[in-house]
């Protein structure tokens, strides 16, 4: 069995990806310092897959501790690197924390990938790198724009670092640009656990519906879109997770060293905030307490993916639609309220 190291394995996308990797026959180990996630995810993964996953609770900015994991696990052939800080607003207040954490952890992991011959490397990137695009849907060749936040800058720099490392060393690397991952595993054993007041739309919806938040705001309905609210490409976290398994398999099959390939991971459907809310209301039968508020600073008006590259080359197909995303997010919220 081939061992894949997943960093950030206790986080939202990391935990769902571990489930998918295990279900597809991979041996998985995790590194997560638990600074932004809980190791309860490991119990959820075990509940779904029957497998106990080893998590090393170490910090990837600690190079010696990172190296020790590679020394203890000489069978690591691939790395999927999720671990990073990801709050846009916080990154504006604490840019140096973001640069230190997100960049040094990536550099250390790439150094270990080279030194310990783990050539298959997948990096979590983001549609943030496109900024406010001139044309939509965006393809992988759409020009990138200046990052709107230090968080976004760490993703752009991360892409450059991975690309440069791949050209200089025998690595087969893939950059996955996620659009808006939402929903939860249908078992409700794992899902998203936002820290503090949720900034993202779907946790704000489900927390309002369950009564954790009294009311939520739609950030602007005066944009030039079909109903005035912003357009995003929401995608089920299990579809995102499966794309990682396909990407690792693709990298292993082609074994093209000195390569760096980019894939957009979105459904290709642009959905407005109000459409997302109405889909939630339909599947939950809850009337959401929301009001129209002002625009949120820094919001992009409209973005969604052209996902042809992932469909054609990874043979990736989204299984979950918008209602499935809302249904599973709602089931998860209800399960953690118990
Ligand atoms: C979606 C839409 C809001 C909350 C984030 C990250 C980005 C990337 C993708 C990882 C927007 C509106 C939200 C609320 C609302 N992630 N909204 N009321 O901004 O597209 O991007 O996820 O890399 O880096 O910033 O996602 O979920 O915050 O917002 O009306 O209470 O929902 O204005 O139009 P966003 P989001």
Q: What is the whole-number distance in angstroms between the Cα of residue 200 and the centre of ligand 1? A: 5
Could you read off the pLDDT of 93-118 as tens digits, one per residue?
999 999 999 999 999 999 999 999 99
Q: Assess whether the previous peptide bond of 137 is cis (omega < 30° from 0).
A: yes
Q: Which residues line ligand 1 (CB under 6 A)?
A: 86, 88, 126, 128, 178, 180, 199-201, 204, 216-219, 230, 232, 273, 296, 299
Please state, rounded to an integer, the average pLDDT across all residues of the chain: 97
For residue 83, the model assigns a pLDDT of: 98
CATH number of domain containing 329:
3.90.25.10
Q: What is the whole-number distance in angstroms between the Cα of residue 197 and the centre of ligand 1? A: 13
Q: Does residue 243 form part of some domain? A: yes
Asked if the model's pLDDT at residue 84 lies above 90, the reply is yes
What span, in angstroms and rounded, lies between the C-alpha atoms of 35 and 8? 10
Asked if the model's pLDDT at residue 338 lies above 90, the reply is no
Report which protein residue has its CA nearest ligand 1's atom 11: 230
Q: Does residue 191 form part of some domain? A: no
**Domain identity same for 51 and 153:** yes
Q: How does DSSP assign 13-40, residue by residue?
A: HHHHHHHHHHHTT-EEEEE---SSS-TH
For residue 1, the model assigns a pLDDT of: 72
CB-CB contact of 220 with 230 (8 Å): yes
For residue 257, the model assigns a pLDDT of: 97
151 catalytic per annotation: yes
Band of residue 265 on the pLDDT scale cut at 50, 70, 90 = very high
Positive or negative: CA dihedral 21, 25, 28, 34:
positive
The atom of ligand 1 lying closest to the CA of 205 is: 31
**Domain identity same for 258 and 273:** no
The atom of ligand 1 lying closest to the CA of 179 is: 9
Share of the chain above pLDDT 70, in %: 100
**Domain identity same for 280 and 222:** yes
**332 CB-near residues (< 8 Å, 6+ apart):** 183, 184, 185, 188, 191, 192, 206
For residue 5, the model assigns a pLDDT of: 99
Could you read off the pLDDT of 16-69 as tens digits, one per residue?
999 999 999 999 999 999 999 999 999 999 999 999 999 999 999 999 999 999
**Domain identity same for 145 and 223:** no
**Domain identity same for 108 and 217:** no
Q: Does residue 192 form part of some domain? A: no
Q: Does residue 189 form part of some domain? A: no
What span, in angstroms and rounded, lies between the C-alpha atoms of 255 and 50? 31
Q: Does residue 13 form part of some domain? A: yes
Instruction: Give phi and psi for 80, each to the nearest 5.
Output: -115, 115
Half-sphere exposure of 124 (CA within 13 A, CB side): 26
**Domain identity same for 65 and 124:** yes
> What do you get for the CA distance between the two ends of the chain, in Å?
38
**Domain identity same for 121 and 217:** no
Share of the chain above pLDDT 90, in %: 95
What span, in angstroms and rounded, lies between the C-alpha atoms of 220 and 122? 36
Residues 166-188 have a mean pLDDT of 98
**Domain identity same for 246 and 212:** no
Asked if the model's pLDDT at residue 148 lies above 90, the reply is no
More confident residue, 2 or 34: 34
Q: Does residue 113 form part of some domain? A: yes
What span, in angstroms and rounded, lies between the C-alpha atoms of 190 and 186? 9
**Domain identity same for 180 and 89:** yes
**Domain identity same for 35 and 96:** yes
**Domain identity same for 249 and 211:** no
Band of residue 300 on the pLDDT scale cut at 50, 70, 90 = very high
CATH number of domain containing 82:
3.40.50.720
Q: What is the whole-number distance in angstroms between the Cα of residue 114 and the centre of ligand 1? A: 36
Structural domain that includes position 242 = 3-184+236-268+307-319
Q: What is the whole-number distance in angstroms between the Cα of residue 254 and the centre of ligand 1? A: 35
- Residue 272 tokens read as 């407005």
Half-sphere exposure of 235 (CA within 13 A, CB side): 29
What span, in angstroms and rounded, lies between the C-alpha atoms of 304 and 139? 9
Q: Quick check: helix, strand or coil at residue 216?
A: strand
**Domain identity same for 215 and 311:** no
Q: Does residue 194 form part of some domain? A: no
Q: How many domains does the chain have?
A: 2
The atom of ligand 1 lying closest to the CA of 296 is: 33
Q: Does residue 41 form part of some domain? A: yes
Residues 128-151 have a mean pLDDT of 94
Determine which one of 151, 223, 234, 304 is catalytic: 151
Could you read off the pLDDT of 190-231 as tens digits, one per residue?
999 988 899 999 999 999 999 999 999 999 999 999 999 999
């Amino acid at each position: 069995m081939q061992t894949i190291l997943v960093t950030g394995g206790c986080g939202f996308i990391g935990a769902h990806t571990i489930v998918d990797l295990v279900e597809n026959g991979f041996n998985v180990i995790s590194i997560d310092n638990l600074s932004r996630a809980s190791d309860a995810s490991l119990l959820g993964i075990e509940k779904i897959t029957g497998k106990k996953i080893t998590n090393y609770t170490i910090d990837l900015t600690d190079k010696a501790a990172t190296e020790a994991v590679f020394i203890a696990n000489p069978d690591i052939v691939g790395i999927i690197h999720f671990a990073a800080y990801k709050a846009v607003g916080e990154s504006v207040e604490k840019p140096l924390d973001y640069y230190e954490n997100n960049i040094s952890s990536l550099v250390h992991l790439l150094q270990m990938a080279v030194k310990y011959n783990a050539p298959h490397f997948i990096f979590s990137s983001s549609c943030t790198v496109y900024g406010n695009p001139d044309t939509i849907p965006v393809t992988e060749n759409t020009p990138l724009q200046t990052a709107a936040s230090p968080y976004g800058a760490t993703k752009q720099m991360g892409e450059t670092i991975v690309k440069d490392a791949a050209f200089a060393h025998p690595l087969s690397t893939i950059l996955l640009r996620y659009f808006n991952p939402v929903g939860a595993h249908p078992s409700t054993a794992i899902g998203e656990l936002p820290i503090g007041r949720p900034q993202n739309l779907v946790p704000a919806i489900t927390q309002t519906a369950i009564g954790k938040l009294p009311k939520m705001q739609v950030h602007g309905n005066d944009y030039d879109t079909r109903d005035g609210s912003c357009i995003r490409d929401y995608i089920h976290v299990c579809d995102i997770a499966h794309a990682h398994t396909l990407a690792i398999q693709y990298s292993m099959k082609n074994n093209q060293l000195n390569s760096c390939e980019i894939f957009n991971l979105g459904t290709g459907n642009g959905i407005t905030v109000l459409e997302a809310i109405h889909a939630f209301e339909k599947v939950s039968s809850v009337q959401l307490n929301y009001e129209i508020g002002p625009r949120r600073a820094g919001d992009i008006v409209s973005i969604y993916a052209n996902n042809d590259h992932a469909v054609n080359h990874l043979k990736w197909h989204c299984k979950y639609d918008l209602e499935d995303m809302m249904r599973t997010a709602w089931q998860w919220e209800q399960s953690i309220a118990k």
